Amino acid sequence: MHMVTLTKGVPDFREGKVSFDEDGHLERGKTPTVMNPNDKTALQAALQTKVRAGGRVSLMSMGPPGYKEVLQEGMGDVYADDLYLLSDREMGAADTWATAMTIATGLAMFDDEPDLIFAGFKTADGETGHTGPQTNWCIDINDELTDRPIITHVISLEVDSEQRRVRAKRLVEGDVSEIETVEADLPAFIVTDPEFEPTYRRAEHRLRYKDQRDDAEERAADLDLDDDVTVWNQKDLNLDPDFIGLDGSPTIVAGVDPIPKGPDEREATMVDPDDEAAMEDVFQTMNAHAGGD
């Protein structure tokens, strides 16, 4: 069974060094990058499936060459077997639609079509939640790939590789207290919810998890970013430049307001946790801001 997890690098706003060009576009090559936090749940879902059902996991991202380090981080998290980066200046400044078109084409490059594709809920720099579902829609119109069902807001899942079925629990849109269970045939597309929790109840799974963790950590540490990451550019994917990157993006950005860097030093009041009166003052102060009684 072949699984692919999609991941992305996002600006590390904690550094306060986010760079924009004169047109308001984020300059990713000049901005510190970290793995998108919501992608980590997608990584955990793929890892759980690999440990419990077997198979091979590939990691794929689209972005500048610096995203190789994000993929290396992902290898340590999901114990991936191989890494793929879609990278070209022609792909730059893409919106979610152009990104989805590019990723779907990248997924069609594999010799064996993925049985499961995992994506995170949304990105920290876009907050749209479009890329996963749009990628699946682009897969449906790609002659090289099989149409597949998509299950979103997944909080747990079981995969039967022999029966080629996936059974998932998902949060119902608009009501996080309601959970529904759905089943689908493979191949399938899974969008994980931030509430996803991996489980390893059986001893054999926990032992396999440990073995794969040790192996992956060693491989990630020894990874050669130049030789061990497969990079596909616009020509490799045979994509028309008019349909990818900025030229292929119908979204129009009206304006961008950079987040100002916080002060290096801030006033702080030290409180002894054993001082009941002082702790009561802290509670009353916080309670007022929380809207409590």
Q: What is the pLDDT of residues 50-67, one digit of tens each?
A: 999 999 999 999 999 989
CATH code of the domain in which 183 resides: 3.40.50.620
Measured in degrees and rounded to the nearest 5, phi and psi for residue 232 equal -115, 125
- Helix or strand holding residue 62 (H, E): strand 56-62
143 in a structural domain: yes
* β-strand partners of 42: none
pLDDT score at 206: 93
231 in a structural domain: yes
Query: Cα(178)–Cα(113) distance, rounded to whole angstroms?
Result: 34
Range(s) of the domain holding residue 33: 2-243
Q: What 3-state DSSP class applies to 67?
A: helix
Q: Which residues of the chain have pLDDT under 50?
A: none
pLDDT score at 29: 64
pLDDT score at 176: 62
Beta 9-11 vs 150-160: how paired, if at all? unpaired
Query: Cα(186)–Cα(189) distance, rounded to whole angstroms?
Result: 9
85 in a structural domain: yes
Per-residue pLDDT tens digits for 155-194: 999 999 999 999 999 998 655 678 999 999 999 999 999 9
Query: Cα(113)–Cα(145) distance, rounded to whole angstroms?
Result: 7
Measured in degrees and rounded to the nearest 5, phi and psi for residue 82 equal -155, 160
What DSSP designation does 83 have? E
How many independent structural domains does the chain possess?
1
Global pTM value: 0.82
269 in a structural domain: no
Q: Are 78 and 41 a contacting pair, CB within 8 Å?
A: no
256 in a structural domain: no
pLDDT score at 264: 61
What length is written for the chain? 293
223 in a structural domain: yes
141 in a structural domain: yes
279 in a structural domain: no
pLDDT > 70 fraction of the chain, expressed in percent and rounded: 87
Q: 77 Cβ partners below 8 Å, 6+ apart?
A: 35, 40, 43, 44, 47
Q: Helices 203-221 and 39-53, interaxial angle, to 10°?
A: 120
pLDDT score at 251: 85
SS (H, E, C) 143-195: CCCCCCCEEEEEEEEEEECCCCEEEEEEEECCEEEEEEEEEEECCEEEEECCC
> Tokens standing for 260?
């100002």
Query: Cα(59)–Cα(76) distance, rounded to whole angstroms?
Result: 11
